Amino acid sequence: MKKRDIVLTIICLFVFIYTSVWVHVYLRSRTECLRGVELESKIAESYLPYAKIIPRKQGGLLAEGEAEQFDKAQYDYYQSVTKVITALDNCLHAYTPFNKYLPRAAEALYGLGYDCFNKNEFHLALSAYRTIRISPDPEWVAKADEMIKQTYTKMELLKSRKMKGKTKR
C-alpha cells in the first residue's frame, strides 16, 4: 500500500505542477497578446505627427526647430511600433499547446510588418517579420520569410533608384 500511495502522490504532484505551469504560461501569452493589440491601436496617434513632417524632411525643407520636432516624432513612432512588436514577441514565446493567442499575435505582427513595409519603414517591417519566425506554425514562418525577401527586394530597388537620381544630377 505505501508504494502505491507514494506513486499516486508523485503522479498527482506532477499533474498539478504541469497544469500550474501551463495555466501560467497561457495567461501570460493572453496578457501579452491583448496588450500588443491595445498598443497597436495607438500607433496611429504617434504616426500622424511623423507623417506630416516626412515630405518636408525628404524635400530638405526643414528648419532647425522642425528637425528636432521630426526627430521626436520619429522616435515616438518607432517606440510605439517597437512596444507592439515586443508584446507580441512575448506572446509567441509563451507557447502552450492549444493556445489561440499565438495565431492572433502572428497575424497582428504580419499586419504591422505589412503596414511598415508600405510606409517604407523597412527596419520596423523586418523586425516584425523576423519575430513571426519564432512562431510554431510553419505556415506563418513561410509567410514571414516571403515578406522578408520582398522587403529586401524593395529596399534594394529604392536604393538603386536613389543612386540613379544622384548620378543624373
Take residue 80 and report the three cell numbers written for it: 510605439
Mean pLDDT confidence for 23-34? 94
Looking up cell 503596414 gives 115
Quote the pLDDT of residue 64: 77
Overall size of the chain counted in residues = 169
Confidence of residue 168 (pLDDT cuts 50, 70, 90): low
Would you say residue 123 has pLDDT above 90? yes
**Average model confidence (pLDDT) for the chain?**
91
Quote the pLDDT of residue 169: 52
Which DSSP helix (H) or strand (E) runs through 142? helix 138-168
Take residue 108 and report the three cell numbers written for it: 497582428
Would you say residue 70 has pLDDT above 70? yes
pTM: 0.86
| 2-6, 29-33, 87-91, 140-144: range with lowest mean pLDDT | 2-6
User: Is the alpha carbon torsion for 66, 69, 75, 79 positive or negative?
Assistant: negative
**C-alpha–C-alpha distance, residues 116 and 142, integer Å:** 19
**C-alpha–C-alpha distance, residues 67 and 142, integer Å:** 40
For residue 94, the SS3 value is: coil
Looking up cell 527596419 gives 123
Quote the pLDDT of residue 161: 84
Would you say residue 162 has pLDDT above 90? no
Would you say residue 153 has pLDDT above 60? yes
Quote the pLDDT of residue 7: 92
Q: What percent of the chain is modeled with pLDDT above 90?
A: 69
Take residue 149 and report the three cell numbers written for it: 525577401
Would you say residue 74 has pLDDT above 80? yes
Looking up cell 501551463 gives 22
End-to-end CA distance of the chain: 92
